[in-house]
Amino acid sequence: MLLPLLSNKSNKRIREALPDRKKINAFLFCIVLAYSYLDIRRATSSLEKAQINLAFCSLIRTLTSSKVLSLDNKKKNSGFPFVLFSLIRTFAGMNIEIDQGSGFCFGVTRAIGKAEEELSKEEQLYCLGDIVHNGKECDRLQQMGLVTINHEQLRDIRDAKVLLRAHGEPPSTYALARERHINLIDATCPVVLHLQERIKKEYEEKVKSEELRVKNKSNQSKDGTNSDSSLFTLHSSLDKQIVIFGKRGHAEVIGLVGQTEETAIVIESAEDAGKLDFNRDISLYSQTTMPLDEFRKIVDYVQQHISPEATFTYYDTICRQVANRMPNIRGFALKHDVVLFVCGKKSSNGRVLFNECKEANPRSYMIDTASEIDVRWLQGCESIGICGATSTPKWLMEECKVRIEELLGCHE
């Protein structure tokens, strides 16, 4: 009696997967049960719901573990059969989890909070560069009135209010703001600000040493003396290389290099470290969002190659709130069949974290918005993990979860 329901061409794949009457009846029974289950869930108490759920899931697991519901995985799933199959798999134990450790770091949260506070005053507010490397969040703040400008446009502004994002800025930006009577809302991350101060202090000490060396050399020329030993420390400080491990052109790195009047050396890897002069002193710092493992490789490399006559000091200035996400996100990726990494295309931190996900779980996909989710990625999985970078808003990950539920037909 139910066989005519499978007579149209759109259900050809079901007939191929269920060749005999017994399997077809079992499959159709499962359809009826699935739709009945949706109604029962809305109408029963918590206790009854739990009991029904247990019995239902037991039956569905039995059916999906056999060949009764097997479909051809080599072909693209679409239409009614795949939607129903996804629905059954979902109620049989589909788990969609958002990583609680993902999302904005403290610095980004603080910057966005300052922006929202200023925008609530209904005054014109500019932001120097994207406030966060996430297009959707930038769009949200733009709708609230935030206007993003670049450094060239800053030169054309006067008597205005400008927000400095968490990445920080070089001294030249502050000087320009004073010249143009610009009111700066400084949202530089405290961790970045502290790092800027450390690098600036070391650079200023280097400059003072140079001035003292020149003065001493002049005095010695007048006295007719020349003591190399008395100048050793001064020469050592003068020749010191201030090195920053970071991404060239990154906003934070530009701000750090600016503390040294553009004299700091930027390296991006242990391979880059080979270009340093190992006969001169080296002081190594790091951009706050760089991977800790690579920083340690650079330290090892320099220690192995530094001249006995030179000194090497290094400062681990990587933010632990960011660094700790590396092992955590690896563990999260291993927990799930499929991982969706939500991240803006401009986020360097996001690329590092996504690579960690991909290495731990090959079924990891980077997306910018929920609309980019491809339902084929979710085929045959029972557990989906959603995570992101330090620039990814929680609300965007929630949107992705809702989208997955819609694609799988389980969104109520």
Active site residues: 252
Spell out where 114-252 has E strands: 125-128, 146-149, 161-164, 183-186, 241-245
Cβ–Cβ < 8 Å for 198, 283: no
Cα-Cα end-to-end distance for the chain = 32
Task: Provide the angle, in degrees to the nearest 10, between the axes of the packed helices 348-360 and 325-335.
Answer: 40
Cα(168)–Cα(179) distance, rounded to whole angstroms?
19
Which position has the token pair 């400084």?
Answer: 186
CB 126 within 8 A of CB 163: yes
Closest CA to 288 of 354, 345, 241, 244: 244
Distance CA 326, CA 17 (A): 43
Burial of 100 (C-beta count, 10 Å sphere; 0-12/13-18/19+) = exposed
